[in-house]
Amino acid sequence: MRTLIIGAGASGLAAAVTLKRDCPAMDVVLVEKLSEPGRKILATGNGRCNLTNTDISVSWYHGDSSLIYTVLNTFQTEDCLDFFHSLGLLTLEEEGRVYPLSMNAATVRNVLLEEVERLGITVAFDFAVGSIAPGFTVTDKSGERTLHGDFVLLALGGKADAAHGTDGDGYPLLKQLGIRYAPISPSLTALKTDDRIRPLKGLRFRGSAALLDGNDDLIGKEEGELQFTNNGLSGIPAFQLSGDAAVLTKTKTLTAQLDFCPNLPDVAVLDYLEDRRMHGSPDEPVLHLLTGILQEKLARFLLEELGMDADTPVHRLRTEDLASLAEQVKGYKLTVTGTKSFKDAQVTRGGVPVDELVDGTLESRVVPNLWFAGELLNVDGACGGYNLHFAWGSGILAAKEIAQRAENI
């Protein structure tokens, strides 16, 4: 019997190794459109490969909760570590994020590839799949190369980060096979806003960002280091909000509310400004009131937004002027117009939903002996190793299900 695993990324490599270990008699073939496998792994975690997290739970994921539970119930942090330790990989942990001891993503890919070679798994390189006929016959886009298999696992990834091979070529295959998938959009990418913040391009600050709908109801809030771009916001907090923003800005007007001093209550900021005014020189510029809490470039910008001259003497300020300034520091608002494209995103939101799968498995309801793993499924996670964890876990679970099916034939 033969299994064709289409896509030699994180989920495909983990599946191939697991399937061959569990079912040595199985002919396992990795089908990869690029000339090398696992290219996207090299880019994860800023080249360090944040391969899992010590806090794995459904709360860190978006998508079909029952599908998330299906994978996480069989694959927790310790299972992930056991898998990689079995490959000889040593790891370290930083604030919950788990990395290879080498702090180099190539190490993770290399131990996987060495095991692929040791197990005798075939890799068909430069094979861009153009069609799949149930049964299975898999043909490349040129129509010149064909592979046959008893089982197929689709592990092609989503549409994010096409430079590393995931350009969305799995979705036409789903349509060919009559498999429905939830609408896709970019996630873990920068937010796009109105261009008022263009003068702040490149400025970094530690703060919080809240995503609000048109009624100022909270959609989500994240804290950490943010960076202004020429047309928006970057940084992990912005990335965490981008999945919702990409979907909702198609039909709604959204606002990003920035808090530049998240560790201080609103009243504390106002008290600080009033205290500075009271104990300082009445002729010192208003800019000096902000010196102790904000970068000068940001302080000048916020004053300008309020129509205040940074050199205005503080004795000219009214109490309501200080209140407005405190409000800007604690809740500066920008209109969110969307997100950056799939090209700049880390993951894809949307994909094959749970009702397209046999209950409690990753097998297709529509096409028997066809499985799915990784980003092609309707699951995406937060920054912090959660997406790679799901990729490994879903690939391993699909492989175990295929091995069990093969034993029962």
Strand 137-140 with 129-133, pairing:
antiparallel
Beta bridge partners of 99: 92
* Dihedral, CA of residue 105, residue 53, residue 7 and residue 124, to nearest 10: 50
Task: Report how far apart, in Å, the C-alpha atoms of 399 and of each of 115, 152, 220 are.
Answer: 15, 10, 36
**Helical (H) or strand (E) element with 84:** helix 77-86
**Cis amide prior to 127 (ω within 30 degrees):** no
CA atoms within 13 A on the CB side of 106: 1
| 148's tokens | 């046959």
Q: Of 342, 361, 341, whose CA–CA distance to 352 is shortest?
A: 361
Q: Of 155, 173, 189, whose CA–CA distance to 38 is shortest?
A: 155
SS (H, E, C) 129-172: EEEEECCCEEEECCCCCEEECCEEEECCCCCCCHHHCCCCCHHH
Beta bridge partners of 291: none
User: What does the pLDDT look like over 14-66, one tens digit per residue?
Assistant: 999 999 999 999 999 999 999 999 999 999 988 999 999 999 999 999 999 99
Contact criterion met (CB below 8 Å) for 237 and 226: yes
- The segment(s) of the chain belonging to CATH 3.50.50.60 are 2-186+343-408
Q: Of 246, 262, 232, 216, whose CA–CA distance to 334 is shortest?
A: 232
pLDDT, residue 165, reads: 82
Spell out, as residue ranges, where the chain has pLDDT lower than 70: none
If you search the block for the tokens 């920035």, which residue do you land on? 258
Buried b (16+ CB within 10 A) or exposed e, 346-356: bbbbbbbbbeb
pLDDT, residue 280, reads: 81
Residue 381 DSSP SS3: strand
pTM: 0.94
Beta bridge partners of 232: 192
Q: Rounded to 5 degrees, what angle do the CA atoms 195, 198, 204 make?
A: 120
Measured distance CA(160)–CA(175) in Å, rounded: 19
Q: Of 350, 66, 392, whose CA–CA distance to 187 is shortest?
A: 350
Task: Report how far apart, in Å, the C-alpha atoms of 201 and of each of 223, 270, 342 are.
Answer: 19, 27, 22
Measured distance CA(390)–CA(189) in Å, rounded: 19
Q: Of 165, 136, 184, whose CA–CA distance to 9 is shortest?
A: 165
Measured distance CA(100)–CA(111) in Å, rounded: 11
Give the CA radius of gyration of the chain. Answer: 25
Q: Of 382, 341, 347, whose CA–CA distance to 192 is shortest?
A: 341
Backbone dihedral angles phi then psi of residue 56, each to the nearest 5 degrees: -105, 115
Residue 28 DSSP SS3: strand
Please tell me the total number of residues recorded for the chain in this structure: 409
Beta bridge partners of 122: 29
Q: Does domain 2-186+343-408 have CATH number 3.50.50.60?
A: yes
Alpha helices in 228-374 (DSSP H): 236-248, 266-279, 296-305, 319-331
